[in-house]
Structure 1
Amino acid sequence: MASVIDICNLALARLGDNATLASIDPPEGSAQAEHCARFYPMARDTLLEMHPWKFATRRVQLAQLVDDGLSGWSFAYAKPQDCIRIHDVLPPAGRMGAAVPYATEARADGAEVIRVDMDDATLRYTARIEDTTVFPPAFTDALVWLLASYLAGPVIKGDAGAQMASVCLKAFQSVYAAATVSDSNQQRPARDHVPDWIQARG
């Protein structure tokens, strides 16, 4: 599997840049390393947010907060720090029920809060995944092209850089479309599937 450095070097190679980076954390001193250190996390998190990737989906019981009572919602929960994209707010494991409405906002202290009318709520969400060894190959390929589109302007500069950014973005869109189809095909629940917790009720 590709490392962060591999992904950065592949992105530079797609721009025709022959630099071979050894480190971006900390940046090794080259301009290319500085650009990759700046744009890689942005490209990774943007791609994670764009689609409910199976490998990045997590489910956790939310930590309840003391609510100020002014929001119009019954309960307030801390948004997980690694949450990139919320999928659903659900009842806790073992309790029957569908996803429920929710709202998100930032409190005065800057903490991100999920507000909902449900006690003991569970969150299904896309997590910020930093371990590149769990990235599927198609996700990695899309990430390389997206990062290349970000790097094109700073690395090549001028009109040529803008043109290359456009080329890379078009390539990304094609690879991304194929990657999301592949990811969506990783799960095909049976129509008559009954969860274990319902089966246990007899």
Structure 2
Amino acid sequence: MATSVVSICNRALDLLGADPITSLEDGSKSANLCQRNFAPSADSVLRLYPWNAALRRARLPALADAPAWGYRYQYQLPQGPEPSYCLRLLAIDGCSDYRIEGRRVVTDAPPPLDILYIGRLEDAADYDALLAEVIAAKLAVHLAGNLTESGSRIDAARRYLEDILGQAKISDAQEGGQVEFTVDAWLQARS
């Protein structure tokens, strides 16, 4: 089954024990909440980690106006159409001295500026299965207070988000060529 915004929303609702929706426009309280909270939940999850599915590269020209002071060049971050909208700048090729100011990068690096960034994913079919699950868990946390009065369900949603986020990061990192595992201090002391 193809991943869709509605299927991710229904997964979030399942985590809360709420009834599923048929579309974001079905008029139910759950659909209205999903419609309002899906995009912010997805964007915040995408900003948390450099997900392979959302990595993008771009070559930016310098803007005509130089920064008022401090740096020689400024560049406009990608801002559309999707998926080129930059949610988070990860790296600039050959440059470590830069700042993000609003939707611009200021630096002394001459043009063109080659960047690696996290781009917004508008088509849920582009989500990795674990990324979709993390977004569903994040959405469940956002919806929990409005759809359930159960403190235990709210806490369970938060715990599940932490757990699945950790698992998804490890899995995603294994596809990137380098895996970074942290060793528990207690285990490290025993060796």
TM beyond 0.5:
yes
CA distance in 2, matches of 1:12, 1:103: 39
CA distance in 2, matches of 1:101, 1:57: 21
Matched, 1:83 2:86: yes
Aligned counterpart in structure 1 of residue 133 of structure 2, from 141, 153, 170: 141
Secondary structure of the 1:124 match is strand
CA distance in 2, matches of 1:79, 1:122: 11
Unaligned runs of 5+ in 2: 80-84, 179-191
Number of the residue aligned with 1:36: 34
8 Å contact from structure 1 (residues 150, 165) kept in 2 = no
Matched, 1:186 2:136: no
CA distance in 1, matches of 2:39, 2:70: 36
Number of the residue aligned with 1:10: 11
8 Å contact from structure 1 (residues 89, 101) kept in 2 = no
Number of the residue aligned with 1:99: 95
- In the alignment of these two chains, the number of paired residues is 171
CA distance in 1, matches of 2:9, 2:91: 33
Unaligned runs of 5+ in 1: 91-97, 107-111, 190-202
State the identity %.
27
8 Å contact from structure 2 (residues 95, 109) kept in 1 = no
Q: Could you tell me how far 1:146 is from its partner in structure 2?
A: 1.2
Number of the residue aligned with 1:21: 21
Number of the residue aligned with 2:63: 65
- The two structures have a TM-score, normalised by structure 2, of 0.84
User: Runs of at least 4 residues of structure 1 off by over 6 A?
Assistant: none
8 Å contact from structure 2 (residues 73, 109) kept in 1 = yes
CA distance in 1, matches of 2:134, 2:48: 12
CA distance in 1, matches of 2:146, 2:98: 40
Q: Could you tell me how far 1:68 is from its partner in structure 2?
A: 4.3
Secondary structure of the 2:41 match is helix
8 Å contact from structure 1 (residues 149, 164) kept in 2 = no
Aligned counterpart in structure 2 of residue 175 of structure 1, from 136, 155, 164: 164
Q: Could you tell me how far 1:57 is from its partner in structure 2?
A: 0.5
